[in-house]
Amino acid sequence: MKGTVSICCFLALLLLQATAEVEELDHVLRDRSHIDETLRLATEEKAADYVAAIQKLRKIYHSSIKPMEQAYKYNELRQHEISAYPGRTLGDSATDGEITSKPMVLFLGPWSVGKSSMINYLLGLQDSPYQLYTGAEPTTSEFTVIMHGEKIRSVEGIVMAADSSRSFSPLEKFGQNFLEKLIGIEMPHKLLERVTFVDTPGIIENRKQQERGYPFNDVCQWFIDRADLIFVVFDPTKLDVGLELEMLFRQLKGRESQIRIILNKADNLATQDLMRVYGALFWSLAPLINVTEPPRVYVSSFWPYDYAPDTSRELFKREEISLLEDLNQVIENRMENKIAFIRQHAIRVRIHALLVDRYVQTFKEKMSFFSDPELVFQEIVDDPDKFYIFKSILAKTNVSKFDLPNRDAYRDFFGINPIASFKPLASQCSYIGGCLLEKIEKAITNELPGLLSSINSGKQPGLSSCEITGCGEKPKNRYRKN
């Protein structure tokens, strides 16, 4: 009898010891040195060069592109079938906030798959008062923007939308209910000096969009259009695809180069089960991602604690480093991407101005003393191909037929803006400021490519002393290609 009791006590002691070891293992923090090393957070950036390049880019935009935007009311063109460089929709004008903004990394996916935990891990916020709240139930009900600031503080959505120095002012159009679900968190962090994270509410398949109180899909689209990198996170136990997730992937069409699929919490599965889940994930997503080359899939466990025992920790570590290298590539290329975006934006503004100019010319050619202006212009707007409006534009340089807006967009555009309110391009010139068309073409063909070349070659694209002081001697153009 005593022997039996002793054995029971011994087994109970072993069980308690094993439980304590597991609990201890669960709370062992993983080494984060590879994060700082891969993202090069210890190295100082050439801040002066970056600021000089941004200053030059803003100067080009304000002097050569924005005047054309304003003259031909580009921001009133509403056309959503054709999208511009990733991060834009045709009809949006650039702002100083967007030119100076950092790359945006967007986290999407079902609820409780580890999106917030991943951000906590990347920023080292675990067990701090500032970590994003996580849990097994749906926890993130807001769109949370984590950005750099001099001190740790939260910023209300209405403040973010009202601040023109930020790039979030267009979010006001989604209404007050949404702004109450938008929150910003500022904190001094090396990584946030180079990138901004956006955490989103998890997708809940049994919830209707109306129940959220704001247009959830439209808000997601706004962030998708402006994201430089999109992490779509999955849990091995939540691979089913419902209507809301299917809608999300439809919104991601055309952004495949920025999408990265993350199979998170991979250390919860044995290797054989993980292979089955990996295959099941592709099977579920195949109908939703109709591209030749599918997005890269990263398999790991992105949270601050150590991997579970007897799992492929070396594989998970390599996958994590690959993802960090992907993120670092976006950070390293942020200036080049901004210049490419502004140039693409300038091309579209120029195309819009050329089209409006062609409508104006055609209207004047068809008008006679006895003509009814409304009937004449209605005929032109209803059938622009009859008057070769769009075909004539294709003869211009830097114009692709794939960049031409939809014809119906101009029916709506001229319904708001009378044709008589626009001047021909030939008359948009001044003795001091020059011609709008020449200035935007110079920016597209010379200034922006020259700025990009100077960055790639390591030259400092700073402003010359005469550009700053306005001295009489003509400065040497250091931005011209040799």
Instruction: Give per-residue pLDDT as tens, 324-366.
Output: 999 999 998 989 988 988 998 899 899 999 999 999 999 988 8
102-143 pLDDT per residue, tens: 899 999 998 888 899 999 999 988 877 777 877 554 555 789
pLDDT for 293 beyond 80 = no
Give me the domains of the chain, ranges plus CATH numbers: 43-102+333-470 (1.10.268.20), 103-311 (3.40.50.300)
Strands (DSSP E) contained in 149-228 are 153-156, 182-187, 196-199
- Has residue 170 got a pLDDT over 60? yes
Beta-strand relationship, 153-156 and 182-187: antiparallel
Q: What is the pLDDT of residues 13-39, one digit of tens each?
A: 444 454 444 444 456 888 888 998 999
Using CA atoms, how far apart are residues 359 and 387, in angstroms rounded to an integer? 9
Q: How many helices (H) and strands (E) does the chain have?
A: 20, 10
- What's the pLDDT band for 65 if we cut at 50, 70, 90? very high
Q: Please say if the pLDDT value at position 445 is more than 90.
A: yes
DSSP labels, 45-98: P-HHHHHHHHHHHHHHIIIIIHHHHHHTTGGG----SSB-STT-BTTPPP-HHH
Q: Is the pLDDT of residue 262 over 90?
A: yes
CA distance readout (Å), 444 to 61, 79, 441, 451: 11, 23, 5, 11
More confident residue, 79 or 100: 100
SS3 breakdown of the chain: % helix, strand, coil, rounded to 5? 55, 10, 35
Q: Which amino acid is at 409?
A: A
What's the chain's average pLDDT?
Answer: 81
| Count of positions (residues) in the chain | 482
Contact 442, 60 (CB under 8 A): no
Collapsing DSSP to helix, strand or coil, 385 comes out as helix
Q: Cβ(197)–Cβ(131) under 8 Å?
A: no
